[in-house]
Structures are given as C-alpha cells and as structure tokens.
Structure 1
Amino acid sequence: MKLHKLVFILFLSVFALSATAQTANELKRKKEAIQREIEQLQKNLNKTANGKKLTLQQINGINAQIRLRQDKIGTINSEIKNLDNQISQNTNTVHTLQGQLGDLKKEYAG
C-alpha cells in the first residue's frame, strides 16, 4: 500500500511539474505575444507621431504660404494705390495741359 501511495504521489508530482511546465510555456508564449503587440503599438505610435510631425510641418508650411500670399496681396494693393495715384496725377496733368492748350488756342486766334 505504501508503494501505491508512493507511485501515486510520484505520478501526481510528475503531472504537476508537467502542468506547471506547460503553464510556464504558455505564459512565456503569452508574454512574448504581448511584447510583440507592445512593440507593434509602439511602432504605430511612432508612425502616428511622425505623421503628426508631418502634419504639423505641413500646417506650418501652409501657414507660411498664407503669410507670403498675404504679403504679396499687400504688395499688390500698394502697387494699385501707386498706380491710382499716378492715374490721378496724369489725369490732373491732362486737364492742366488741356486748359493750357485752350488758352494757347485763344491767344493764337485772338
């Protein structure tokens, strides 16, 4: 009877060690799988961060383009004002010259 108990205890011990080893292997595989997922998530986060950096760079580039275009519009508006002033001056000059021409015609006619 002692022998049966001893064999039974030995059998349970081997079975328990086997179950523990299997559980340890499963845990190891699960841990490795989790680590792979963590690494994959980190890669995705890095891509997202790079994507955000690109997006921020793109936004900054677009903002720079907007500022440059606003400067260009301001310059064009200044040119338009200058041209308007020149047109006004030329119009005044034309009116003055037309008046002088009329006076000269009167002098020669008279």
Structure 2
Amino acid sequence: MKNIQIIDGALNATFSLFQATDDEFGAIFVGNSDMAIIEDVFARLGNAEAGRVISPLWDRPILKSEAQGIHGTLFYGYDDLREIFPRSMREVDWDELSINQAQRELFRAKR
C-alpha cells in the first residue's frame, strides 16, 4: 500500500492521508510522478474508471503518525493553478526559486 496525501480547500484543513493499492496508485500518478491534480486524473481515465480507482481510497484513511511515508499528493481544486506545478509532476522538479536552499540541494541529488 502507498500513502496519498489529499490537499484540498476544505475548511478543516486536515490534509488527510489515505492508502492506495499499487494498481490504484499507478492509475492516479503517471509514470514516476508523485503529484496529481484530480481533474487530470478524471480527464485521463474517464469518469467511470477514475471513480472506480478513487472511491476505495476514502475507506482507507491512515493517521499521519502511523504512516510510513507519503508516496504521492493528490490536489483537489488546483486546476486553475496548474502552471505553478512542475511539468513532470514530481516533487523534486519544483522551480528552484520556489523552494529553500536545503530543498534545492536535496532535490538536485534526487533528480
């Protein structure tokens, strides 16, 4: 199982984690990406398949304190902000002007 953090505009701002099977994770995140915008998932998979892939996640919450890492981030409501994301949709590819020096060094080493 892989852990996905949900980033959305909910007023509770929980940014909860949910577990996905390897197949579900692979359907949500293309190639070696670790970030996805939900509208892109639905556009790529179609409504029925995306719903089939996403729906089971909500039955598998996991506490942050018990998670063994975050493997991906799924963004809800960021369709209008897609230009801020790296084209690769990989965390390590953020524009260096938008991250701090320690992140620059870490991300460079992981590219």
TM-score (norm 2): 0.15
Q: Which has the larger radius of gyration?
A: 1
Larger strand proportion, structure 1 or 2?
Answer: 2
Q: Which of structures 1 and 2 has the larger relative contact order (alpha carbons within 8 angstroms, sep 6+)? A: 2
